Amino acid sequence: MNQPLNSTTTFGNSVSSAARNKVLRNTYWLLAISLLPTVAGAWIGVATGITAALSGMMGLVVFLGGAFGFIYAINKTKNSAAGVPVLLGFTFFMGLMISRLIAMVLGFSNGADLVMMAFGGTAAVFFAMASMATVVKRDLSGLNQWLTIGVILLVVGMLINMFVASSTGMVVLSMLAVAIFSAFLLVDIKRVIDGGETNYITATLSIYLSLINIFQNLLMLLGIFGGNDD
């Protein structure tokens, strides 16, 4: 009686491990593909200046409306053939949204170098968190609650800073954002590795959101400290 039961259990564990690896592999592939519409959206935004007028509260409303609309649609279509196109549409939208910041940084004489440094820094954070996720043994899901609270406080701080317009406040908030979303990145990748996330579309969405926030805030910090007007 025990021998077939043990064989079934071992087989189940083997299938579970294979399924986790498949989700992780598909997540990384889709994440890589999602960078293409992001770059396309950013390029169109910079070339056309379509988002130049979206500043202050108007820009925030457009961003939040579009982002939450796409995220809702992604969650609705994550188990259908439409899930991937909707996700790629969202990454194109995010490229458009960050194009205004990219255009501002490109206004510096060393702007292109700063953009590449921000991209390289984001890639370095990703590989560091992905590597760490493979060696950390403890369950990190308990961090989600604290990180979510951190994001809420971060958003409140950014809203306040919109009216205060403090460069010091912007630096502090950007540094905190990099730290918080780096931690989110670790937690999200670890969840996929552990089998807590079984849908590669929503897994890609979570990791992508962390990466785009890390890139944006790194670029902001580099623009503040490394921008050259000459």
Residues 210 and 181: their CA atoms lie apart, in Å, by: 5
Judge whether residue 4 has pLDDT over 60: no
Judge whether residue 2 has pLDDT over 50: no
- For the ranges 54-58, 68-72, 134-138, which has the lowest average pLDDT? 54-58
φ/ψ (deg, to 5) at 92? -65, -45
Is there a contact between 90 and 56 (Cβ–Cβ < 8 Å)?
Answer: no
Residue 12 confidence (pLDDT): 38
Most confident of 12-16, 57-61, 116-120: 116-120
pLDDT in tens, 123-132: 999 999 999 9
**Residues above pLDDT 70, as percent of the chain:** 91
Q: What is the DSSP string of 82-107?
A: THHHHHHHHHHHHHHHHHHHHHHHHT
Mean pLDDT of 77-92: 95
pLDDT in tens, 156-179: 998 888 788 778 888 999 999 999
Mean pLDDT of 197-223: 95
| Residue ranges per structural domain of the chain | 2-226
pTM score above 0.85: yes
Judge whether residue 223 has pLDDT over 50: yes
User: Looking at per-residue confidence, does 207 or 58 come out higher?
Assistant: 207
Residue linked to tokens 């043990």: 6
Residue 158 confidence (pLDDT): 85
Residues 55 and 44: their CA atoms lie apart, in Å, by: 18
Q: Give the chain's length.
A: 230
Residues 147 and 155: their CA atoms lie apart, in Å, by: 12
